[in-house]
Amino acid sequence: MPVFVNNLQEKVPVNSKILDTMEMVVAVSLKLEGRGDDPEVTIALVDDTYITELNYKYRHKGVATDVLSFPMEEIDEEEPVINGETENILGDIVISMETALRQSEEYGHSLLREMAYLAAHGMFHLLGYRHDAEDRRRIMRDREEKVLSLLNISR
């Protein structure tokens, strides 16, 4: 399962433990959902300015947010073909490190825990989960917490 984590910002230090944890979150999320096809996932770590631009461009909201997900898979859509080969690309997750740091302080837990949660949240969006209704929000939240629990990451 290829997971590519790209740190595109310099405002919040990112250590190898955070990077490794995000890769484990992706792996556990896929396993929990029974996805044995090893799809490719990219996680971009950005600053508030960058994520605000994306949030405006794709959601018409001119504010910073913590995480955005861009799924590549669509129902009844063929997988992308690159260099004549079918690619198994699940999608991209973009996380604002500045917002993640603020939220970790606000919620009173570690930056590692916040990053793991945001990676799980982004993964479940890539996997088709939504939180546009209370019942869907609860289901998605339960899945996110299950991933964190399996990785022994607590508040």
- Coil, strand or helix at 139: helix
Q: What pLDDT, on the 0 to 100 scale, is given for residue 124?
A: 96
Q: What stretch of H or E contains 113?
A: helix 111-126
pLDDT in tens, 23-75: 999 999 999 999 888 899 999 999 999 999 999 999 999 999 999 999 986 54
- Position 2 scores a pLDDT of 83
Tens-digit pLDDT profile for residues 81-110: 444 455 689 999 999 999 999 999 999 999
**Which CATH number applies to 3-150: 3.40.50.10490, 3.10.180.10, 3.40.50.720, 3.40.390.30?**
3.40.390.30
Look at residue 74 in the predicted model and tell me its pLDDT.
Answer: 58
Cβ contact 71:57 at 8 Å? no
Residue-level pLDDT at 86? 52
Q: How many CB atoms lie within 10 A of CB 105?
A: 12
For 81-104, give the DSSP string: EETTEE--EEEEEEEEHHHHHHHH
Q: What's the confidence (pLDDT) of residue 130?
A: 87
Query: In which band, very low, low, confident or very high, does the pLDDT at 142 lie, cut at 50, 70 and 90?
Result: very high
Rounded distance between C-alpha atoms, residue 153 and residue 150, angstroms: 8
Half-sphere exposure of 55 (CA within 13 A, CB side): 18
Model pTM score? 0.90
Q: Is 53 helix (H, G, I), strand (E, B) or coil?
A: helix
Q: β-strands 40-46, 89-96: how paired? A: parallel
- Residue 115 burial class via C-beta count within 10 angstroms: exposed 0-12, middle 13-18, buried 19 and up: buried
Percent of the chain whose pLDDT exceeds 70: 90
